[in-house]
Amino acid sequence: MDFPSQVFTDKAKRKQPFTHPLLQDERVGDVLMKRDVLLNFPYHSFAPVVDMIREAAFDPDVVSIKIACYRLASQSKIINALVNAVRNGKEVTVMMELKARFDEEANLQWQQVLTDIGAKVLTGIQDMKVHAKICVIKNG
């Protein structure tokens, strides 16, 4: 949603998200093994999160990925990484919010895809909404 142009005529152009300086030249997993990195959205790019899950999907030391998903795109890079993780023998558990405003259809489709490939999909607690954004990647 945007501000009405009739009221706000002097509107600044929205800045594009930027990559955190620590994540520009190294694999995300390598950086995170050395130190914590705080990302603040929408200011930072979401790409390092996707890269982290993608790296974990192919890392032979990773045994499981657990993630809470709220709003997923119809062409989700996160889901693609999780599918690759399952195919590579990782235990994948996804807490999928099915009542994510405006994205219910995509979330329902992804729930089916993940279930079909063998991921464990949790769909929440009746009459409660899970809005958390968390991911836990466990090495063996």
The residues that are catalytic are 131
C-beta separation of 81 from 112 below 8 A: no
CA-CA distance, 94 to 69, in Å (whole number)? Answer: 7
In the chain, how many H helices and how many E strands?
4, 4
C-beta separation of 97 from 69 below 8 A: yes
Q: Of 70, 23, 69, which Cα lies nearest the Cα of 81?
A: 69
- Residue 115: both structure tokens together: 């279930």
Q: What angle do CA 68, 30, 52 make, to 5 degrees?
A: 25
